[in-house]
């Protein structure tokens, strides 16, 4: 009788089980990669049809204005509140850090630079991706499962022109304006928080904050939010237009619209920050 050491037997069994698990995982990973490539391929086709619909007349200016109001005006209170909270937190946090290093005089400049160059744009993008992304995904998803979009096509109305292009263009136009509002609220509340700790006039705070800032420091970070708007509009409309499965599918579309648009906004911000630093130095 051949005696096999216990650890050898255990290693053999473990290796067999591990190999089995790995073999089971290979089809799962392959299917996942195929699904990812199919998603991006469908997104590319969707963008091509969207571009054709947006450029070809007639143009839906009335629906565009309505979407600008729904995306811009109704997002303004939430964006302003988020910007104001950001300004207060930056003022409180940076104040004690600068005092520790003996650089309290740079507090206004640090607040202004931090808000305008990064905090304001990225927070605005994430706030809008949460509110607008979920709304667009749920709205278009509901229209898709109730066959309203099919009815529009049967009535010779292009849903890409009336529903998709107007929402995407509205997102592109409204994001920079919302970013300006967020920056304004953040700087004002940063001054208020600083004044409560050590009184300083608003004029002096603004002068010290913008003394070393050029127009090129303000323009690129603000305009990059138009790219955020493009991402939010395309991803949300794409997820909404491919909804299946009734009301449960509408919920999945709204959820995936928020998650994917927020993820792509963060990734785009990394790329755009590097591009801005390369171009404008």
In angstroms, rounded to a whole number, what is the distance separating the alpha carbons of residues 184 and 27?
A: 52
- Where does the pLDDT of residue 26 fall: very low under 50, low under 70, confident under 90, or very high at 90 and above? low
Q: Give the 3-state DSSP-derived string for the chain, with helices as H, strands as E and coil as C.
A: CCCCCHHHHHHHHHHHHHHHHHHHHHHHHHHHHHHHHHHHHHHHHHHHHHHHHHHCCCCCHHHHHHHHHHHHHCCHHHHHHHHHHHHHHHHHHHHHHHHHCCCHHHHHHHHHHHHHHHHHHHHHHHHHHHHHHHHHHHHHHHHHHCCHHHHHHHCCCCHHHHHHHHHHHHHHHHHHHHHHHHHHHHHHHHHHHHHHHCCCCHHHHHHHHHCCCCHHHHHHHHHHHHHHHHHHHHHHHHHHHCCCCHHHHHHHHHHHHHHHHHHHHHHHHHHHHHHHHHHHC
Per-residue pLDDT for 14 more than 50? no
Mean pLDDT to the nearest integer, 124-132: 92
Q: Which residues contact 156 (CB under 8 A, 6 or more apart)?
A: none
Give the span between the Cα atoms of 218 and 278, in whole angstroms: 16
CA 246 to mean position of chain CA atoms: 26
The model carries a pTM of 0.85
Please say whether the beta carbons of 257 and 239 come within 8 A. yes
Give the model's confidence band at 10: pLDDT under 50 very low, under 70 low, under 90 confident, else very high: very low
Give dist(CA 124, CA 224) in Å, integer: 11
Q: pLDDT at residue 1 above 70?
A: no
- The whole-chain average pLDDT of the chain stands at 84
| pLDDT given for residue 25 in this prediction | 63
pLDDT at 3: 45
CA–CA separation, 164 vs 147, rounded Å? 16
- Whether the per-residue pLDDT at 268 is higher than 90: the answer is yes
Contact 191, 79 (CB under 8 A): no
Of 212, 214, 234, 227, whose CA–CA distance to 173 is shortest?
Answer: 227
**What is the mean pLDDT of the segment spanning 24-47?**
81
Supply the pLDDT for residue 198: 81
* Cα distance from N-terminal residue to C-terminal residue, the chain: 77
For tokens 């051949």, name the residue: 2
């Amino acid at each position: 009788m051949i005696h096999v050491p216990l650890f050898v037997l255990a290693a053999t069994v473990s290796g067999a089980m591990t190999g089995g698990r790995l073999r089971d995982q290979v089809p799962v990973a392959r299917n996942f990669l195929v699904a990812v490539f199919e998603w991006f391929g469908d997104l590319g086709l969707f963008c091509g049809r969207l571009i054709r619909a947006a450029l070809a007349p007639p143009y839906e200016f009335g629906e565009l204005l309505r979407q600008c109001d729904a995306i811009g005006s109704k997002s303004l209170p939430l964006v302003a509140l988020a910007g104001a909270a950001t300004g207060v937190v930056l003022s409180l946090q940076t104040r004690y850090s600068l005092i520790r290093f003996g650089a309290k005089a740079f507090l206004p400049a640090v607040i202004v630079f931090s808000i305008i160059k990064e905090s304001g744009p990225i927070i605005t993008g994430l706030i809008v991706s949460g509110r607008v992304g979920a709304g667009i995904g749920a709205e278009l998803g509901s229209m898709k499962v109730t066959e309203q979009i099919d009815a529009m096509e049967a009535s010779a109305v292009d849903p890409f022109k009336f529903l998709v292009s107007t929402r995407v263009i509205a997102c592109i136009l409204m994001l920079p304006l919302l970013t300006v509002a967020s920056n304004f609220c953040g700087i004002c509340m940063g001054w208020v928080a600083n004044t409560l700790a050590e009184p300083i006039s608003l004029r002096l705070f603004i002068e010290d904050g913008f003394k070393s800032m050029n127009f090129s420091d303000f323009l690129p970070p603000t305009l990059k939010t138009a790219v955020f708007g493009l991402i939010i509009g395309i991803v949300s409309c794409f997820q909404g237009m491919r909804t299946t499965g009734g009301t449960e599918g509408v919920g999945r579309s709204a959820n995936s619209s928020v998650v994917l648009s927020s993820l792509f906004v963060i990734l785009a911000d990394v790329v755009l920050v590097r591009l801005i630093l390369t171009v404008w130095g």
